[in-house]
Amino acid sequence: MEITTTEYKNCDVIHPIGRVDSAGAPQLEAAINAVTQLGRHKIVLDMSEVTFVSSAGWWVLIGAQKNCKKHRGEVVLACIETGIRASLKLVGMDDYFRIYDEMTAAVGNI
Amino acid sequence: MEITTTEYKNCDVIHPIGRVDSAGAPQLEAAINAVTQLGRHKIVLDMSEVTFVSSAGWWVLIGAQKNCKKHRGEVVLACIETGIRASLKLVGMDDYFRIYDEMTAAVGNI
Amino acid sequence: MTSAVFPGRYTSLESISEFVIQAAQHAGLDDAAVYAVQLAVDEAATNIIEHGYGGEDLGEIGCQCEIVAEGLRIRLEDHAPPFDPQAVAQPVLNVPLEDVRPRGLGLFFIHKMMDEVQFDFSPEGNTLTMLKRR
Amino acid sequence: MTSAVFPGRYTSLESISEFVIQAAQHAGLDDAAVYAVQLAVDEAATNIIEHGYGGEDLGEIGCQCEIVAEGLRIRLEDHAPPFDPQAVAQPVLNVPLEDVRPRGLGLFFIHKMMDEVQFDFSPEGNTLTMLKRR
Ligand SMILES: Nc1ncnc2c1ncn2[C@@H]1O[C@H](COP(=O)(O)OP(=O)(O)O)[C@@H](O)[C@H]1O
Ligand SMILES: Nc1ncnc2c1ncn2[C@@H]1O[C@H](COP(=O)(O)OP(=O)(O)O)[C@@H](O)[C@H]1O
């Protein structure tokens, strides 16, 4: 999995490409930790090129959300593919994240 | 000229479509004033569908920038077409604005 | 029927996905159903590696896909010790974020995503048979 | 040579632009030069309405485009009172934002955007002739 992180004034955008499965989840976790360790806790996850998320991936995002909220920050999700979003909704975990269809809205509202 | 304004938590995005000439500049001015009158002074101008800006348009933007900066805000420009940008640079007025190639960066950095 | 054997490691998950996605498409499943199959198989294969073998590169995962009248039947095979699926507690869902505990979503997904799920354990190995209707 | 007459109002600016853009493209100007022509003509036509006639709908603007060896020659005609371009002060540029005064960019743009700029005033009317080289 390829992951790009872009630091803006208001937030950081993390943009993973590919599958967030048990192989990719630790990489995503490392990318998120790299941001939060700088004391930055507003993170927009650009999911536009994520094709799959397994429970291993959701646990990473849930953990990150808990940590960021503790630090007055937040993880918001943007541009999630329908299948991925449906599976998140199925387990009721879509309530844990603000989800935006556009990056501009995600970055503007975090 | 068609102008859409979107209010985000961090800023407002104003998205004009068409020519900002002496006919369109007053409309743009009205759209900007509608935002600042709400006490909101962080404005991203999405120029992706602006095809032309005359001096009448630049004066509106310069005026808005002065006003917003007075209120600890800012006008930033995003996605400016090359010809428009070249004419702004020619008169040295590109120094008065932060300019971004992408909306995400503009909204993330305002 | 197509079948393949994959090394029991997490980097196999992508190949396993590709293998079942192709079968699911051939079976005429729609996009939502294809994603469902991908998710169920990924969770099941992860469990075989993590809980069955107890780590990476300790055994293989066999995968068979069969297009049947109802849709797609998938069989995952391993030679790890058996376990009792009935004994696994349901995940705690729909609780406040602070109370979410990171466990137990895999089997839940498998059951939600597939129309039939059956675990069989025998001395020759374990089999998980899943059916996704068209 | 193409020519057209437009009512002296700001909503004519778009039609005038379309008219000169087409001529500029026919003359083989590149995109940057086409934009330059559009900007110069827009500023000049705005000045005719605003400063020449002193308001909208008080006179007409004639526009002639001629493809010449060097590029494109454009002539704008009006029947407003004459003025003295030499007497116009240069805009104050490259100053801090607070010191910028919103005036005087139009003629500056016209001169910067075009290769030749000539104002002629006569009892029959005023003519602004501009050349943009290819
Ligand atoms: N293939 C397997 N082999 C052994 N135990 C398993 C297997 N699959 C699931 N389990 C047991 O079921 C539990 C729940 O699994 P699952 O729902 O996937 O969630 P998680 O993997 O997060 O614990 C596991 O913790 C494990 O004890
Ligand atoms: N067509 C015109 N007729 C009369 N006066 C003009 C004309 N064009 C320009 N001027 C004069 O030149 C000045 C500068 O014009 P310009 O550079 O376009 O800036 P602005 O229109 O912002 O003043 C005008 O304020 C006006 O006094």
The 10s digit of each residue's pLDDT in A62-101 is 999 999 999 999 999 999 999 999 999 988 899 999 999 9
Name the band, by pLDDT with cuts 50, 70 and 90, for residue D102.
confident
CATH class of D2-133: alpha beta
Residue A34 to chain B, least CA–CA distance (Å)? 19
Contact D105 B69 (CB under 8 A): no
Over residues D87-102, the mean pLDDT reads 89
| Residue C73: per-residue pLDDT | 98
The 10s digit of each residue's pLDDT in C52-100 is 999 999 999 999 999 999 999 999 999 999 999 999 988 888 899 999 9
| Residue C94: per-residue pLDDT | 84
Q: Assess contact for D72 and D37: CB atoms under 8 A.
A: yes
Q: Is the pLDDT of residue D42 over 90?
A: yes
> What residues contact residue B7 under an 8 Å CB cut-off, 6+ apart?
B35, B40
Residue B26 to chain A, least CA–CA distance (Å)? 26
Q: Which domains does chain A have, with CATH numbers?
A: 2-109 (3.30.750.24)
| Facing residue for D106 by CB, picked from B55, B69, B96 | B55
Select from B30, B6, B32, B4 the least CA-distant residue to B18: B4
| Dist CA A83 CA A9 (whole Å) | 32
Pocket-testing residue among C47, C48, C76, C105, ligand 1, by greatest number of atoms within 8 A of Cβ: C47
| Facing residue for B104 by CB, picked from A9, A107, A109 | A107
Q: How many CB atoms lie within 10 A of CB C39?
A: 27
> What residues contact residue C10 under an 8 Å CB cut-off, 6+ apart?
A21, A22, A23, C46, C49, C56
Q: Please tell me if residue B43 touches chain A, with a CB cutoff of 8 Å.
A: no
The 10s digit of each residue's pLDDT in C101-122 is 888 899 999 999 999 999 999 9
What residues of chain D, 26 to 85, have a C-beta less than 8 Å from chain B? 31-32, 34-36, 38-39, 42-43, 46, 49-50
Q: Indicate if ligand 1 lies below 6 Å from the C-beta of C112.
A: no
Q: Is the pLDDT of residue D131 over 90?
A: yes
Q: Please tell me if residue B10 touches chain A, with a CB cutoff of 8 Å.
A: yes
| Residue D25: per-residue pLDDT | 97
| Residue C101: per-residue pLDDT | 86
The 10s digit of each residue's pLDDT in C8-58 is 999 999 999 999 999 999 999 999 999 999 999 999 999 999 999 999 999
Pocket-testing residue among C42, C86, C88, ligand 1, by greatest number of atoms within 8 A of Cβ: C88
Q: Indicate if ligand 2 lies below 6 Å from the C-beta of D110.
A: no
CA distances (Å), origin C12, targets A21, A97, B87, C42, D73: 10, 30, 55, 10, 69
Residue ranges of chain B with per-residue pLDDT less than 70: none
| Residue A60: per-residue pLDDT | 97
The 10s digit of each residue's pLDDT in D53-67 is 999 999 999 999 999
| Residue D94: per-residue pLDDT | 84
End-to-end CA distance of chain C: give it in Å, rounded. Answer: 17
| Percent above pLDDT 90 for chain D | 91
Q: Where are the domains of chain C?
A: 2-133
Name the band, by pLDDT with cuts 50, 70 and 90, for residue D92.
confident
Residues of D in contact with B21 (CB under 8 A): 10, 13-14, 17, 42, 46
Over residues A27-42, the mean pLDDT reads 98
Helix (H, G, I), strand (E, B) or coil at C65: strand
Reported ipTM: 0.84
User: Best interface-test mutation with A: which of C16, C39, C108 has the largest number of A CBs within 10 A?
Assistant: C39
Strand D116-122 vs strand D125-133: parallel, antiparallel, or unpaired? Answer: antiparallel
